[in-house]
Each structure stands twice: as C-alpha cells, then as structure tokens.
Structure 1
Amino acid sequence: MSGLFGTLASGGFLILLVAAGFGFGFALVAGQGRKRSAMIGGLCAVLLAAILSASPVFRANMTGAITVLFVLGLLALPVMFYAFVLRQIRRRNAPALNPLPAGLRLIEQDDALFRETLEHLRDENARQPDYSRQTFSIAWRDARGAVLASVRCEILMGLAEMRALYVQPEMRDKGLGRQVLQAALDEAKSRGAARAMLHTFDWQVPDFYRHLGWTRTGEVSYPAGPRRIQFEKQL
C-alpha cells in the first residue's frame, strides 16, 4: 500500500490530471452531462490532492508544477494581450453587417408596432388646422368600485364615436347600458360634438340602439356571414 501511495505521490500534478480525467470520463458515460462531469472530475482531483498532501514528495512536486505554470503564465501574458488588441482592431475595422436585410416583414405580434404607428399618425394629424381629438370614458361602478358597465367616446372633429360599450353579463337588462351610453352622449355634446356614431355586429342586439333613437346609416357584410352595422344620432 505504501508503495502505491509513494508512486501516486511522485506523480505530482500529472496524477491529479489523470484522476480528473477518469472522474470526468466515468461521469460522462453515466449520462451526467459535460458540466456536471467536469465538476465530478475536479472533485476527484481535489480529493486525491487532499489524500496525497501528507507526502513531502507530492508537496515538492506540486510546488515545482505550480512554479512552472506560473512562469508559463507570465510568458503567455504578452501573447494574450497582443491577441486581444488584434481582435479589437479587426472588430473595429470590420464592415458593419446588417443581420436583417432590408425588405418586407411579416410581424405576428404587432400590437406594439400598431401603437407606435398610431402615435405617428396622430402627431401628423394634430398638425392639421381643423384636426381636434378628445377621448373619455363613462363607467358605472358598484359600492366596492367594480366596473359593471362602461363605454369609451372619441370625439374627432365634432363627431363622437362610441366604442366598446360593455355591460357585465349578470347586470344586463337592468338599464345600465342605456344610462352609460346616454351619459357619454351628454358629455360629448357638452364638449361640442354635433353628431354621434357607433358600429355593432348583428349579434350584438342592434335593436337596442334603434329603440334609443339611433339611425342605421350603413352596413358591412363579411365573407364569413356576419354583418357590421353603423348607427348615427344627432346631438
């Protein structure tokens, strides 16, 4: 046993590399992956170094190995620095590469682009002398603050367009939709709107608007079958 211990101790740094290689190889064959196998190989080398550290022969060999590595590292520093500087010069002088060639793009998740485009269009429209735009919403809240019904109004150059009228399902047929819509019309009129309009699909009870005095002024038929109906009303 002492002979084996002495043989391993005389191997010095080389025997640690062998131990690390064996540990890495067995772990890799066992399906541990490269990163975990490398950790296991390093752990084998550390454990063997701890065992052999009691031998003065091993300590002497390791001291010599560390000294040699240190000297080699000092000699390699200028070469590494030169390679770093050369790489930076080449990168700086390399022509700029555009990873995306110019041309058409299909953008699936386009909400952000659409909002940005709308802002550009609104900025251009706002520079026109007759352009004016206001928006507001009317909501019906319960005692806890929950919104039970709401509608949004956009007044564009005197025309008030009602959008997104919605009533919670459990609160329908209670008059909330009629009240928030009328409140929005009154507010729009007080802000100078002369006419109101809205669009609704044929499955969204268009008779509701007829009963409130809205006039049907247009219709769009979709190839799939549904219709989008336009209503207007003087204020």
Structure 2
Amino acid sequence: MTAEQHPTLAASLQVGAQDDELQQRLDDELTAFNAGESGAGRPTELSVRVTDTAGELVGGLTGWTWGTLCAVEMLWVREDQRRAGWGARILRAAEEEGARRGCIDAIVSSYTFQAPGFYRAQGYRETGRLTGVPGGHEDVYFHKSLAAS
C-alpha cells in the first residue's frame, strides 16, 4: 500500500511507568494473534507451589504450556531450602505436567548470575545468549526435549 492509503492517525504518545491496563491489552492482543498464526491455540498457565507445614512458601515455579511447548518463566526456592533438592523437584513436576498436557519441548532462560548450571544439570542444553544484562552479565537460553525425559 502507498502512503496515501495509510494516512497518519492523529494520536498522542505517552511514556510512563507500570500500566496494568496497557499490559493486559497487549497480552490479550498478542496472545490472540499468536494463537491464530500458530494454530496452537492460547497458552495455558502452569504453576508449581511448595509450602512447609506452617503454610509458608518454600519455592515455586510459574510458566505456561502452548501447543507442544512448556515454558518456565520463574523458578525460585527460599534461601534456607536451596541445595535441598527442591529446585529439581519443582522443575521435574512442571516438566511432567507439561508432558501430560502434550508438550515435547521445554524452554527457560537464566541470567549468568542466577542458575545456568542448575538447568544444565537438569538436562537442558544452552541454545543462545543475549548480552547487555546489567553488571556485564548475560541472559542464557535453554531447551530440553521432554520426549527424551
């Protein structure tokens, strides 16, 4: 199309901080677009929670499944429970739920100062890195085939 067919819209541009309404609208619009283009439908939320006997959070994971893909967004374990095996158990539970939902691949990213070694130890292979993380760090991307798990 030519410029004549796309006249400039009179609008205002605003820059600011957190905008929950904008966040939700963008998420809704992009999710609908991705669902239509991929043919995989909409993502389904995924969570794993561990609480102690007092009901306090020990650790957890949030992510999503979409078609045959399981993604980990956040995985955290309380400091006094780190190195007690909770991270591996939480991640394994998410992978098993992903596989139950039909996923054959899992993805996650971790900053170099977080837990890339942990994900490698859980069978994930590095697929890429992005520089520019504050402090000279990198964002490391990982993939694991759930079919082989």
**Same fold, TM exceeding 0.5?**
yes
Give secondary structure in 2 for the equivalent of 1:135: strand
Long gaps (5+) in structure 1: 1-100
C-alpha separation between the residues in 1 aligned to 2:33 and 2:128?
Answer: 29
Alpha-carbon deviations, 1:75-110, whole Å to 9, x = none? xxxxxxxxxxxxxxxxxxxxxxxxxx8322213232
Residues 58, 78 of structure 2: 8 Å contact kept = yes
Q: Aligned to 2:24, which of 100, 112, 115?
A: 115
C-alpha separation between the residues in 1 aligned to 2:129 and 2:33?
Answer: 30
Residue matched to 1:105: 14
Q: Aligned pair count?
A: 135
Structure with bigger RCO (C-alpha 8 Å, 6+ apart):
2
Bigger Cα Rg: 1
Percent identity between the two aligned chains: 27
Q: Aligned to 1:206, which of 113, 116, 120?
A: 116
Q: 1:215 and 2:138 equivalent? A: no
Residues 133, 139 of structure 2: 8 Å contact kept = no
Q: Could you say if the C-alpha distance between residues 108 and 207 of structure 1 is closer, same or farther in structure 2, counting changes exceeding 3 Å?
A: same
Alignment of 1:39-118 (within 5 A): 102-118=11-27
Residue matched to 2:144: 233
Give secondary structure in 1 for the equivalent of 2:141: strand
C-alpha separation between the residues in 1 aligned to 2:139 and 2:21?
Answer: 26
Residue matched to 2:67: 157
Give secondary structure in 1 for the equivalent of 2:40: coil
C-alpha separation between the residues in 1 aligned to 2:124 and 2:33?
Answer: 32
Alignment of 1:2-17 (within 5 A): none
Q: CA deviation at 1:226?
A: 1.1
Q: CA deviation at 1:129?
A: 6.7
TM-score, normalised relative to structure 2: 0.82
Amino acid at match of 1:228: D
Give secondary structure in 1 for the equivalent of 2:95: helix
Q: Greater shift after overlay, 223-232 or 179-188?
A: 223-232
C-alpha separation between the residues in 2 aligned to 1:209 and 1:117?
Answer: 30
RMSD: 1.8
Q: Aligned to 1:171, which of 62, 81, 98?
A: 81
TM-score, normalised relative to structure 1: 0.53
Residue matched to 2:106: 196
Q: CA deviation at 1:112?
A: 2.9
